[in-house]
């Protein structure tokens, strides 16, 4: 249950985000559709055609590209146990080192590449990065020693790591705040679909292609990742529009580009400006960067129950078959998909971002309390494990909110969104080593209590964020 300060903050932000019709002007609350409607009641026929075009040109590509990247993230672990270890003579902690090198590229290049993208035509930058990512992924199949793999994994991490924050920024350049959460949810669930399908794809590929044309099965995994990526990258090169301020899409008319610019102007969403020293200093001095990054830190670590191996290890201890374990563990990502869709729709329809975040944190706290107690009925334990899958369901609305809060500056949006994701991944790379220790499995007592603390802290930062945002909106309406 939310504490009084948090409830007060939520009431404040809801009051600020629902002005009367007389206040409904540029930058104020837009008219919103019902949950089952795709368009707002005020959308003109021309706007509806534009929105459908954008969904077909942008959302389809980013969903497929995100799905393809998840295949690679699991390919190395699968390849390791499918013959790569013996072929390349990988021993000791070299698999961990490969993951570490990947994360170094992933983390260190997120902010620089996201900011670089704001200086370039996005419709070429994103697909070109995907093409290079596919080439480096394919090159791994030719690796003859671990040193080559280290170099390749760094570039794969660098070229894939910035994709998530870059797409969040890109979506914020085209869609209104009443449209962003659902599109962000569709983009986000691609990772869950990828995690559910990657095991089946890789297992089938290994079983059918091992030894084909003299190529070992583990090498085929990288070839398949490449084969999935390249067509998607070319699709992006063909269909993606750049940003409305500098758009030369063959699929959007001049009138549609002008309409897109007007839509963004009505949201106070500014076009790209020169990235000067004074602008950087202004961003660093503002509250948005620091509070949103702090919020992202607590959110990014709070999915520990679903991202660690407590459920499958517990099921194995209970004597479940391998088939049952593989089936039951797909429930958590399925819950995440459902939660993401529900949160995305409700956030767009009711602008209930703060309430949804608070409710999700409360559900995760309940699940972790049950798991920390541990000695509970089996049905309740299953329920807690599955309920924890909702923790990631708010990812889309958090980044949609960041797009809205930083709408006045394209450069600040890029810096804040990439910093939020970078901080989350940086701490997520090493904190689990101390909190989610394998020796504690499946009753990760430290991990479950750590997650409770994270969610409580997230609620506190949420209250602070609501207060700052409400104050800023009041100033803008004054």
- pLDDT tier for residue 135 given thresholds of 50, 70 and 90: very high
Residues 14-29, mean pLDDT to the nearest whole number: 42
CATH fold group of domain 45-265: Growth Hormone; Chain: A; (1.20.1250)
Mean of pLDDT values over 349-376: 93
Q: What integer pLDDT is reported at residue 170 of this predicted model?
A: 93
pLDDT by residue (tens digit) across 40-82?
888 899 999 999 999 999 999 999 999 988 877 777 777 776 7
Contact call for residues 215 and 141 (beta carbons, < 8 A):
yes
pLDDT at residue 12, as a whole number: 46
Query: Per-residue pLDDT for 3 more than 50?
Result: no
Of the given ranges (50-64, 76-90, 237-251, 336-350), which has the lowest mean pLDDT? 76-90
Residue 8 has pLDDT above 60, yes or no: no
Residues of the chain with CATH 1.20.1250.20: 45-265, 275-477
**H-assigned helices in 173-216:** 177-209
Reported for 230-233, long-range contacts at CB under 8 A and 24+ positions apart, including other chains, are 230/131, 230/134, 232/61, 232/64, 232/65, 232/68, 232/130, 233/65, 233/127, 233/128, 233/130, 233/131, 233/134
For residues 406 and 399, what is the distance between their CA atoms, to the nearest angstrom? Answer: 11
The pLDDT assigned to 408 comes to 86
The torsion angle over the Cα atoms of residues 144, 148, 152 and 153, rounded to 10 degrees, is 90
Task: Report residue 338 as tokens.
Answer: 């459902």
Residue 118 pLDDT > 60? yes
Weakest mean pLDDT among 58-62, 87-91, 92-96: 92-96
Superfamily of domain 275-477: MFS general substrate transporter like domains (1.20.1250.20)
Asked whether the predicted pLDDT for residue 23 surpasses 60, the reply is: no
Q: Residue with structure tokens 């609501």? A: 466
Q: Who has greater pLDDT, 266 or 457? A: 457
- Which pLDDT value is given to residue 339? 93
List the end-to-end C-alpha distance of the chain, in Å, as a whole number: 34
Determine the average pLDDT of the residues in 386-397: 90
pLDDT attached to residue 305: 83
Question: What local confidence, expressed as pLDDT, does residue 11 receive?
Answer: 46
For residues 174-182, give the mean pLDDT.
Answer: 91
Angle, vertex CA 157, rays to CA 152 and CA 161, nearest 5: 160
Is the pLDDT assigned to residue 377 strictly greater than 50?
A: yes
Mean pLDDT of 127-137: 93
More confident residue, 205 or 86: 86
Summarised one tens digit per residue, pLDDT across range 255-294 is 999 999 999 988 888 777 777 788 888 888 889 999 999 9
Give the pLDDT score at 293: 93
Q: What is the mean predicted confidence (pLDDT) over 99-121?
A: 89
* Per-residue model confidence (pLDDT) at position 29: 59
- Which region holds residue 159: left if phi is over 0, alpha if psi is between -120 and 50, else beta? alpha
Q: How many Å apart are CA 312 and CA 181, to the nearest integer?
A: 31
């Amino acid at each position: 249950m939310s504490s009084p300060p948090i409830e007060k903050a939520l009431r404040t932000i809801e009051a600020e985000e629902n002005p009367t019709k007389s206040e409904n002007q540029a930058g104020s609350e837009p008219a919103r559709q019902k949950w089952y409607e795709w368009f707002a009641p005020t959308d003109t026929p021309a706007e509806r055609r534009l929105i459908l075009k954008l969904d077909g040109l942008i959302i389809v590509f980013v969903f497929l590209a995100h799905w393809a990247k998840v295949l690679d993230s699991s390919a190395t672990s699968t390849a390791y146990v499918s013959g790569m270890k013996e072929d390349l003579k990988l021993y000791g902690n070299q698999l961990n080192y490969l993951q570490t090198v990947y994360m170094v590229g992933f983390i260190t290049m997120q902010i620089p590449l996201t900011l670089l993208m704001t200086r370039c035509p996005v419709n070429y930058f994103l697909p070109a990065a995907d093409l290079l990512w596919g080439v480096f992924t394919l090159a791994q199949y030719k690796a003859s020693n671990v040193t080559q793999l280290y170099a390749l994994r760094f570039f794969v991490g660098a070229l894939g790591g910035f994709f998530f924050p870059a797409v969040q920024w890109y979506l914020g350049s085209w869609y209104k705040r009443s449209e962003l959460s659902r599109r962000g949810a569709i983009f986000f669930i691609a990772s869950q679909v990828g995690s559910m399908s990657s095991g089946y794809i890789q297992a089938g590929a290994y079983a059918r292609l091992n030894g084909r044309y003299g190529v070992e099965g583990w090498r085929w995994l990288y070839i398949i990742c490449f084969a999935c990526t390249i067509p998607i990258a070319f699709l992006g090169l063909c269909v993606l529009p750049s940003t409305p301020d500098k758009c030369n899409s063959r699929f959007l008319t001049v009138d549609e580009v002008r309409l897109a610019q007007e839509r963004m102007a009505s949201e106070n969403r500014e076009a790209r400006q020169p990235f000067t020293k004074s602008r950087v200093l202004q961003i660093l001095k503002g509250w948005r960067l620091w509070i949103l990054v702090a919020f992202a830190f607590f959110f990014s670590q709070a999915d520990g129950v679903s991202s660690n191996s407590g459920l499958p290890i517990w099921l194995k201890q209970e004597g479940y078959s391998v088939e049952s374990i593989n089936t039951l563990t797909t429930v958590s990502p399925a819950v995440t998909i459902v939660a993401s869709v529900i949160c995305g729709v409700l956030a767009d329809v009711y602008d209930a971002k703060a309430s949804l975040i608070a409710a999700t944190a409360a559900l995760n706290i309940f699940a972790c309390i049950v798991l920390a107690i541990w000695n509970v009925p089996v049905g309740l334990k299953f329920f807690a494990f599955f309920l924890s899958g909702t923790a990631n369901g708010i990812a889309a609305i958090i980044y949609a909110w960041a797009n809205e809060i930083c709408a006045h500056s394209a450069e600040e949006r890029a810096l804040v969104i990439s910093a939020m994701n970078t901080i989350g991944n940086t701490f997520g790379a090493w904190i689990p080593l101390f909190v989610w220790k394998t020796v504690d499995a499946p009753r990760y007592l430290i991990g479950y209590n750590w997650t409770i603390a994270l969610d409580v802290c997230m609620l506190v930062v949420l209250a602070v964020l609501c207060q700052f945002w409400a104050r800023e909106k009041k100033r803008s309406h004054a």
